[in-house]
Amino acid sequence: ITYGSVLKLMHEKTKFRLHSHEVPYGSGSGQQSVTGFPNVDDANSYWVSHPLQIVMDSFVFGMFITLLLLR
């Protein structure tokens, strides 16, 4: 996986896809809820990888993934 790759993340055993909703997380943090859903293939199921800058012993490595906003 390279930085900028668009992904769909699926649990191998259940085949549920990682899916975000327009529902705020209940704690009031302002973050969206993310769950696993079966047979979901819409804009809220696409994720994009980004570099994560962690420097250890002069090496930079890491990656994080966010929801790709297609709207």
Over pLDDT 90: what percentage of the chain? Answer: 0
17-32 confidence digits (pLDDT tens): 888 877 776 677 777 7
Find how far residue 55's CA is from the centre of its chain: 23
- Listed by start position, the domains of the chain span 6-67
Q: Which of 46, 62, 39 is nearest to 6 (CA)?
A: 46
pLDDT at 60: 60
Give the mean model confidence (pLDDT) for residues 39-52: 81
pTM: 0.63
Residues 6+ positions from 60 with CB-CB distance below 8 Å: 53, 54
Give the residue, 33 or 11, on which the prediction is more confident: 11
